[in-house]
Chain A
Amino acid sequence: MAEISAHSGPGTTDIRAHYLELIQRKRLYGGLTLSIFALLMVSGFLLADSRNAGGFWGGILNIFDFPAQVIGEASEKIALMPGHLVTFFPALIETINIAAVSTLVGAMLGTVLSLLSTRGLARYPRMIPLFRRLMDIMRAIPEIVIALVLIFVLGGGPVPAMIAIAFHTAGALGKLFSEVNENASLKPVEGLQSVGATWLQRMWLGVIPQVAPNYLSYGLLRFEINIRASAILGFVGAGGIGYELKNAISWGQGKFDEAAAIFVLLFAAIVVFDQISSHFRNRLTGGKG
């Protein structure tokens, strides 16, 4: 007590000086971080520019050439548009089917993996790290890698894309699901255990009902992402609307009206499913909170 009062005299100026010094140092660090970041951005940009086939400043002027061409040709043949939309609709359905099946399969696999890797629920507690690493690896592999390899073995078509996306989805959802599982109450599980339920029954009757709304919400979000992914995989030969898009584009001028129709379909599908899924997700999470 005596010490504090003894120092109280010159303290305020001291504190002020310290404070200013602290602020200054903080500003310096902040400025340094910011300038390093700016330097990284600028040099990265210049590097990327120099390694690109066409330069940025040359390209930025032409950026509207291709869309203008496509729109021009599409508006010239606007009468054919409804026909094209009908022609490519089955391809769109295939793309959506790929996304839906892979989300379903991935979610099922992810559920199993997440239950196996959650502390307190796992069937084999010693294996938890193993299943976690497995999910990390499944998440880390980009879909295109598996898809390309499988296309070589299985031939083109929707199945390679489906397997590739499902594999990645299982890893991604598994991680999110296991975070949900950690918040699940263990009381129903213990209750079931006390009456002699097997692990499967405990999970199915004790855990799943608790976490289902969150699972569904994550699953819907994943479905949105997977529609985009399956369109991209189509572009490398896995069927669906992406494949048709690649054909229309590589044909070049004269088929751009078809490309425009595919753009419209893909854009519409993405927006519609975004809206639907965000509506349901809001309801699912809103009902809980």
Chain B
Amino acid sequence: MSTDTLKAQADAQFRRKRVLNFGLPGIVLAYLVYVFFAFDIAGLAERARMDNAQTLVADSYSYKTHVTRDNRSGELSIAVEGERKGAYPDGQSPQWVTETAGATQVDLGDGHAVMFLTDGSMRYDVPGFGPITAKPGTRGVETNLNRETLPSWINLSKNRLAITTEAGRVSVTRNRTEVFRYFLGWELFFFTLDSPYHGAGLAEIVFGDQIDPARGNIAGAVHDFWTNAMWRHDEVAWAMFETILMAFLGTMGAAMIALPLAFVAARNFAPLRSARFAIRRVFDFVRGVDGLIWTIILSRAFGPGPMTGALAILLTDTGSFGKMFSEALENVDEKQIEGIQSTGAKPLQRYRFGVIPQITPVLLSQVLYYLESNTRSATIIGAITGGGIGLLLTQAIITQKDWEEVSYYIVLIILMVMLMDWLSGWLRRRLIAGNESGE
């Protein structure tokens, strides 16, 4: 070989390398540019609702309490998040609301204070700005504000006055005057306001005097926590359980169906070529149809619920397991089977003692891996068919106001999946390692 050919070879190799090194990133870049326009990412900034994002973030770590006066009847109501389930019972009010002879003072903290006066008007003392008064009347809202020199945090129209400060929000319309005060945390997470345990600390419940004469402290507290109308802990726990149930039934059912079928589909066990071919196509089909389509078809037949989800997982995974199991079966060591056969074992015994021990580790680790991944799938399927925590999550998102519940569910889902991940890893180590040393 002459130097020239060697040099030419090296040159060619360099050229190839160069093409690969610049071409590949180039193709990726070109594709990303195409997608940039195909997905209209430039227009995204206009479509994005940043106010939505703000409520979402603010809501997930804080809550507001509404103090509302009905301007027709003069009735005062105080409710957490303005919901009936969070309403303070009549005659009760938080410490920052004081009622004196018809007039009500709402203390927003930091020197901000709102007064509901007896004549139906409202007075808001904003530190550094001065008092704002507003009176809803038949001709709209009358205020002392100069319409020409309004700061940006005040929004005034004929029938509505809205003031947003760092301490809270006030809105006055002809129908009602509302004050919102914001607090950190998730409201009434443990007990709602109608529970006698609201506001009691853990130590007080466990070691303190009996709070509710009818019930023991711990039993009563657990009951009230469990049936909390705002957070519905009982329903949430059920939903989580349903989701795990879907994943468990689907995965295990699929494994139980796929195992015998895999024997028919494995080259070294199935005498019938046509049967093998048919079973393999069935596996490919149920896998290819995909969980989404199975979910739709099954929910038509069975209605929404965990059974539908479990069956959808079962069908899809029967295909995946069948494929993997039959591949594992094709790779088994024939010697062990021959050994069992030489003792005069019947075919079923041969499978049981010659084959199953060989494929158990592969099989178990696959099944356990799928169990974890199906917990996630079950959440998704639940969101589509209506079952489990997925349903609760979609419902909470659709109402577009209970973002603290959404974040609660998200945290629960993450914890659930991580728990299943940990559990399946632990079982995998225990069972497979145990098998190796035990058998």
Contact = CB atoms under 8 A, between A and B. Distances in A.
Do A and B pair up? The answer is yes
Interface of A: 37, 40-41, 44-45, 47-49, 51-56, 59-60, 62-63, 65-67, 94, 97, 100-101, 104, 136-137, 139-145, 148-149, 152-155, 157-159, 162, 228, 231-232, 235-236, 242, 245, 249, 263, 266-267, 270-271, 274
Interface residues of B, number: 63
B397 to A, nearest CB: 5
Contact of A142 (B47, B290, B376): B376
Nearest to B400: A152
Given A153-B49, A155-B47, A155-B48, A236 B292 contact: no
A134 to B, nearest CB: 12
Contacts of B380: 142-144, 232
Interface stretch (B37-45, B154-162, B259-267): B37-45
B327 to A, nearest CB: 11
Nearest to A146: B410
A271 to B, nearest CB: 4
Contacts of A45: 249, 307, 310
A149 B394 CA distance: 10
Contacts of B284: 271
Contact of A141 (B293, B302, B413): B413
Interface in B41-71: 41, 44, 47-50, 52-53, 56
B302 A56 contact: yes
Contact of A144 (B49, B306, B379): B379
- Across chains A and B, which 9 residue pairs bring their CB atoms closest together, nearest first? A53-B303, A52-B305, A54-B303, A59-B302, A52-B307, A66-B300, A140-B417, A59-B301, A48-B306
A4 B190 CA distance: 68
Nearest to B34: A97
Contacts of A53: 302-305, 386
B62 to A, nearest CB: 17
Contact of A41 (B249, B376, B393, B414): B249
Contacts of A228: 290-292
A8 B391 CA distance: 68
B43 to A, nearest CB: 9
B270 interface: no
A67 B297 contact: yes
A235 B400 CA distance: 19
Interface stretch (B79-87, B195-203, B240-248): B240-248
Contacts of B40: 157
B406 interface: yes
A45 B306 CA distance: 9
B48 A152 contact: no
B102 interface: no
